Amino acid sequence: MPLVGNLRDFALHDFLSLVDRGQKSGSLQLNRPLDNEAAHLFFERGRLLAVIHPARRERLGELLVRLGKVAPEQVLQALQQQQMTPDQSLGQILVAQGAIEQAELQRVVQQQIEDKLYDLFGWREGEFRFVNNQRPAPDDVQSLVPLPIEGLIMEGVRRADELARIRQVIPHDHMLVRFVERPLDQTPTINLTATEWRIFARINGRLSISEIADKTGLSTFQVSQAVYNFITAGLVEVIDVPRLAEPASRARATLPAVQPLSAPSDARDEEHQGRGLVERLFGRRR
């Protein structure tokens, strides 16, 4: 009989601890009907195997192509091979064919799984249901080696606390990010990490935080964290826009085109403004 409940009464980190201690295998299904949000977590003997959002499922091949790790032709060849050997996962076939190194595949997959899990720690309510012995589909993004949960719980709780602070300034991930028209001349020199530079280079007044995350391959948490720091330094601001009504299937919404209030309308002017900020405000990269 499935175990059911609500995250209001039993937090995600508490449930993960039970899975860890009981070495459970199966699927934890989370559902927030009011937000049309759902997520499925898969476990093998108390370790995390995959985190899937059913309505916006990204297959392993799609992920690797999006991140530039493999070519579409390599994925197609691997999928054809999988039809003949259905007991092999797509990742195993790609490694065997030499399309990607096993260590690199595990690194990419593990990063994706962890980031999706950490985002779920922000869910303060929602229905949950645990079903024993369920496994992800063979072509889902799943770890080659199931991940220990204890460390993930500690990091997830830490991120949830930090995200609560960020949400006071950035209420949601669909806000557009743009440069301020006139940065303060007294703004001190700021050293950016490599990750922050990747995010900074995507700011153009037309992309939201979630869209920047998609284009950089980073998590929305990482982008929100960096944008929060940029706002604190007086370099950027976020603006809210009406979101299109989302269908029940929760296909990723497309934001309507928004004309910035005072920023240049031409994309090249916005990019030039960004380069000017770099020249004026930033020193060496750390």
Note the pLDDT of residue 34.
Answer: 75
| pLDDT of 274 strictly over 70 | no
What letter represents residue 73's amino acid?
A: E
> Mean pLDDT throughout 235-259?
56
Which runs of consecutive H residues, i.e. helices, occur in the chain?
Answer: 12-22, 60-66, 72-84, 90-96, 102-120, 150-166, 194-200, 209-216, 220-232, 267-281
Residues in CB range of 33: below 8 A, 6 or more apart: 127
pLDDT tens, position by position, 181-209: 866 555 556 788 889 999 999 999 999 99
- Domains of the chain, first to last: 3-159 (no CATH), 167-281 (1.10.10.10)
In whole numbers, what is the pLDDT of the chain averaged over residues? 82
Number of H helices, E strands in the chain: 10, 7
pLDDT band at 285 (very low <50, low <70, confident <90, very high): very low
Helices 12-22 and 150-166: crossing angle in degrees, nearest 10, is: 170
Report the alpha-carbon distance of residue 28 to residue 2 in Å, rounded. 10
Per the confidence metrics, is the pTM higher than 0.85? Answer: no
| pLDDT of 150 strictly over 70 | yes
- 36 secondary structure, DSSP code: T
Which residues does residue 161 pair with via DSSP β-bridges, in sequence order?
none
Report the alpha-carbon distance of residue 220 to residue 211 in Å, rounded. 9
Which whole-number Å values give the CA distances from 165 to 75, 221, 233, in the listed order?
Answer: 41, 12, 16
Residue 89's Cβ-count burial label (10 Å; 0-12, 13-18, 19+) is buried
Contact, 128 vs 16, CB < 8 A? no
Note the pLDDT of residue 286.
Answer: 43
Note the pLDDT of residue 196.
Answer: 92
Contact, 91 vs 144, CB < 8 A? yes
Residue 245 C-beta-side C-alpha neighbours within 13 Å: 2
> Mean pLDDT throughout 249-253?
38
